[in-house]
Amino acid sequence: MRPLIGICSNYNLETEEYCLREYYVESLLRAGGNVILLPPINNEEIIEQYLKLCHGVVFPGGGDIDPYYWGEVPSWELGEINPRRDDFEIKLAQLVIARKLPALGICRGCQILNVAAGGTLLQDINTTMAHQQKAPRNYPFHDIVIKSNTLLSRAINKSEIRVNSFHHQAVAHLGTGMCISAVAPDGIIEAIESREAPFILGVQWHPECMSDKSSEELFMALVRAAKDNANLTGR
């Protein structure tokens, strides 16, 4: 049985179109999942229906998150924000965390999980190390160190990997129930996970664009957790 994984879609404010890069869909299909897109519609009844349908959720990459959600004023370095996505994804993530539904947050999605749990973000990374690569999306740009005895380390069975990087915001203070599972050489948090759920994981890179075994194993781990959830709930 292929579990059904919901992926939050983007919303283009100028063209009023829902959209999503095909990398996400293809990665989940290869890992053994089925896919449904979740348009950012801020209606509580519809969000509840999304959660009843899905055995797991992916929060994908995208633009900056409005610092309003963690009580800060916008800095000069803040990039373009998408209020419709912010509101929808944070509400959805809060319910996912509360219900311990399997979830994978990617880049912006990692940050969404942290903010939904009550954490904060750096509005702009201020270190000497680059985190926005000027290279092909599938190019591994920098190393990260993975902490032992974490969900991430068990999923890919490695203590260090190279990842791509396309972000200037990053996790600052952890949300409730979250812990750090990987860091970059400059100390920037590269992955977080829930201590209280079987599989809620956020990674700061884009594994859907990579072709290495570790990236494939991340999606396979999500699909396994979603399948376990499907078996447990009988859906």
Tens of pLDDT, residues 150-182: 999 999 999 999 999 999 999 999 999 999 999
Q: Tell me, yes or no, if 55 is annotated catalytic.
A: no
Cβ count near 32 (within 10 Å): 17
Q: Average pLDDT in the 51-61 region?
A: 97
168 token code pair = 């200037």
Q: What is the pLDDT of residues 196-230, one digit of tens each?
A: 999 999 999 999 999 999 999 999 999 999 999 98
Q: What is the CATH code of the structural domain delimited by 4-233?
A: 3.40.50.880
Catalytic residue among 110, 167, 206, 209: 206
Q: Tell me, yes or no, if 54 is annotated catalytic.
A: no
Q: Tell me, yes or no, if 208 is annotated catalytic.
A: yes
Collapsed DSSP state (helix, strand, coil) of residue 179:
strand
Catalytic residue among 107, 110, 193, 209: 107
The residue extents of the domains of the chain are: 4-233
Residue with tokens 């959805």: 92
Collapsed DSSP state (helix, strand, coil) of residue 164:
coil
